[in-house]
Structures are given as C-alpha cells and as structure tokens.
Structure 1
Amino acid sequence: MPEEPFRNLFRPGARRRVQKVALLSAAVVTAASAATAGALLNQPSTPADTGSTTAASLIPPAAAPNPDTDTSASPSSGPQATSEKPQPAEPKAPAEKTLDVSFEYQPNFYYCGPAAVRNALSARGIDVSQDELARGLRTTVNGTDSAEDTTRVLNDVVGSDRYRTSVIPGEDATPAQMDRLQADVVRAISSGYSVVANIVGGETDADGTWHDFPGGHYIALVGYSDDGRMVKVSDSSGMFGPASYWMSTINMANWIGTRGYSA
C-alpha cells in the first residue's frame, strides 16, 4: 500500500491529472513570487508597455562626466577649493606722517585743555570753538582735570569710541610704557587722528629747548617720524619758542609720567 499512490501516476489518464496539477502548481508559484516582490504590486498602474520592464530600466542612466566642465570627472582633481578668499593684510603704517592742523593758541592760562583738543580735532577737519569744548571738558580756572575728560570729549565730537585713555602712573615711564606710547601714536596718526597728552614738569625737545610746566599742561601730538621714535608737538601755550616742535618718544613718555594721554 505505501507504493500504490506512485503506481497510479503511470496509469492511463493519470498524466492529464498530473499535468493539471503541475499547471496549478506553477500558477501558485507565480502568484507567490509576485506577492514577494512587494511594493510594485501596490503602485498605480502605468500605461501598458509591450516591452518588458526591468528594475534597472526604472533608474535613469548616469550622465557621462564632461572633462571640460566637471572637475570631479578626474580622479586626480582632489578636494574642491573653498570659495573664501584670503583676507588682505592690513597695510603697514608709514615710517613718518604729519597731520594737517589748523592751529590756535589758547586765549588764557587755563584753556590749554580746550586748545589741545581743538587743535587735535582740526586734523579731522572739525572746527569747534575752545569755549564750547571747555564746557564739555568742565574746564575751570584750575584747568582740565585729566586725560579721561579729553578722551570723553574727543569721542563725543568724532562720534565714535575711537579714543582710549592710557595712563603712565610713575614719574618715569617704563620701557613698556614708552613702546606703548610709540605704538599708539603711530596707530592714531597714521589713521588721521591726533593724540592729546597731559604732561607735567619739564623736558627737552629735539632742538635742545627746555619746556617746563610745573602745574601741568595739555598738548596735541600731530605727527611722528622714524617709525614713531620722534613725535611732533602742537603746543598752544605760546611759551618756550615756536608753537610746534619735535621730541623723542622716550622724553614724551617721561613728560606724561603721573598723567595720561588720549589716543
């Protein structure tokens, strides 16, 4: 009995049943294969195409690289260069520069602060009266208090925070303070801004003239030479020779000692 079903397969008429079974099995296998294909069965139908469509034909062919326009076509082209351009270096300050100043003397012994600020501003083409500046500086018969006042008024008039106050607290400037003054003078004047310094005591200028202000004084520095080792002074006092003279930056730093400057 175990072998009987197999014998029946070879009886007459049995082949037709086998063929039918085979055809049904093939149909089931075809449907199962289509079911496992997944998403394509659920997609909306497209217009009939008499030709066969393969998965590869659904993907558009890649365009051939153009060696004239596509830098990625060459395997040796390397990484793409960035679009940022290198920033140009700041221009080096000239070795010497003198500003064009419309000079005025101070009208009295305590207006040196307003006069120095006025002369410094004239290098920017700004014309403000000494009386108006004296009100802003809070100048009295005792003079103008400090470089903090000249810095404040200079910034108010030029409309920016361009000026900063630097103080040399000791009677003798240190080498670092001398270097700082030299750098500040070059930076300011090369950009078209005069420096205002509050000095006290006496110092010698480049011509050997002694300038002495034991109670203090304000001057404008309107030029430099030798990369800032020498500074040009605009002095509104009318004392000790001409209104304009040169002095070494070392002597100027010592002259500012215990006071400060606006640059």
Structure 2
Amino acid sequence: MNPILRRCLLSVAGLAAAGGAVAGPAVAAHSAPVKGKNDRAADYEYQAQPNYFYCGPASARIALTAEGRKVSQDELAAKLGTTENGTDSALDITRVLNEYTGGKYRTTEIRDEVATREQVDRLRADVRAAVDADRPVVANVLGSAVDVDGVRHSYPGHYVTVVRYAEDGDTVLVADPARPDAPTYWMDVTAMADWIAGRGYSS
C-alpha cells in the first residue's frame, strides 16, 4: 500500500506501528487540565482505531459517545464509505454524525494553507460552543503539529476528536485514535487550526 494513500497512517514519529493501534474496551481518556480559566470538557469514551485507515470511524465514535451512543467502528465505517484509502472528508463525518444526532453538526473548511486569524477565531468559538453542548469536534488534519509539551504529531491525513478546551479556548485537548499509548494531548488552538488547514472539521 502506497503510504501516501494511508490517510490514517500512524505517527511517523515512531510512537506506534502502522496497524498496531488495537481496539479494546472503551476507557475514559481525560488528561490533567491546562491551568487557566474556563476549562470545559465533553463527556466521552476513547477507543483506538483497529487499523491504519479507521481514524474517521474511530474519531466519529468518540464524538458520538458524548451523546450516549456507542456505535461500532465497523458500522460507522460502512456509513462513511471508509476504505483502505481512508475516509474522504469532513463532509462525510458531518453527514454521518447528523444521522445519529438529528442534525447537530456542521462542516467548516479551512481552505488556506495556513489558517488566518479569522479562521483561528472561528475554530476557537466553534470548539467552545460544541464542547459546552457536550458535542466533541471531529477534525480532519494534515501534516505535522506540535503539542504544548513539544511533541510532534505527523500524519499524511488523519482524523482526531477535540474533546475539551482550556484558557477560554486558547488550548484544546485532542483525543487521537491512533495513539492508544498516549490517547490525549493538549494543542494550542492556532496550531490546531494550522493542522486542519487545507481540510475541515465537524462541530
């Protein structure tokens, strides 16, 4: 399989081997909060993706658990049209999430190569509104981003779920289905917007 086609390929940082993220019992995955005002979290359950191309179904599943819905990744993959090439776009994620939530989600695209200030502000506001409503955000990311601890996360295409924010939304907590060894990490919202740039998110 051409690695460029592996949209949910596990981190090239070598933190997990491709296909090594094995789904197991869903477990809570809340990290210690970043100090700051207005720290809010959606109530969710984490489950890792079972293979390199199920990041879309896995991220959607994490989001749906906040609604009390524990849908299998296989069921979501069928609805999303997920193949070994991955899940096409955030539009598909939004469509399927809306099947289960009654239309609560919408897609926002960041078409620029680097997010503008307005796009960062929009992402911050969208994360705050969604998480306040106990509705995690599913983001389609591309390339590399560095979290607040200085750890680089690199993917040729991937889906993650934003489940919490701190510091009025300046920092967001990412639940990464490809990282069962370290399932959550904090990301500056500007870095998060740049990671999404060229793609979109469902909120």
- How does the TM-score come out when normalised to structure 2? 0.80
CA deviations 1:32-77 (Å, max 9, x no partner) are: xxxxxxxxxxxxxxxxxxxxxxxxxxxxxxxxxxxxxxxxxxxxxx
Residue 135 of structure 2 corresponds to residue 193 of structure 1: yes
The amino acid across from 2:201 in the alignment is Y
Of structures 1 and 2, the larger Rg is shown by 1
What fraction of aligned residue pairs are identical, expressed as a percent?
Answer: 49
Give me the whole-angstrom Cα distance separating, in 1, the residues matched to 2:59 and 2:116. Answer: 25
Kindly provide the CA deviation profile for residues 120-162 of structure 1, in whole angstroms up to 9, marking residues without a partner as x. 111121100000000010000000000000000000011x221
Distance in 2 between the 1:238 and 1:162 partners? Answer: 27
* Greater fraction of residues in helix: 1
Question: What residue ranges of structure 1 are gaps of 5+ in the alignment?
Answer: 1-93
Corresponding pairs, count: 167
Across the aligned residues of Structure 1 and Structure 2, the Cα RMSD in angstroms comes to 1.1
- For structure 2, the 5+ residue unaligned runs are 1-36
CA distance in 1, matches of 2:183, 2:45: 12
What is the SS of the residue equivalent to 1:153? helix
1:100 CA displacement: 2.2
Aligned to 2:51: 108
> In structure 2, what residue type is equivalent to 1:138?
G
Query: Is the aligned partner of 1:142 residue 2:82?
Result: no
Letter in 1 for 2:69: I
Aligned residue number for residue 217 of structure 1: 158
Report the 3-state secondary structure (helix = DSSP H, G, I; strand = E; otherwise coil) of the residue aligned with 2:76: helix
The residue number in structure 2 matching 1:232 is 173
Q: Which residue of the partner structure matches residue 196 of structure 2?
A: 256
User: For residues 55-66 of structure 1, what are the structure 2 equivalents within 5 Å?
Assistant: none
Q: List per-residue Cα deviations over 1:209-247 (Å, max 9, x = no partner).
A: 00000x2000000000111111000000027x6110100
Distance in 2, Cα, partners of 1:154 & 1:206? 29
In 2: Cα distance, 1:161 partner to 1:127 partner: 18
Matches of 2:65 and 2:151, distance apart in 1: 26
Contact 2:43 2:134 in 1 (8 A): no
- TM-score normalised by structure 1 residue count: 0.62
Which of 108, 111, 123 is the aligned partner of 1:169?
A: 111
Aligned-partner Cα distance in 2 for 1:243–1:192? 19
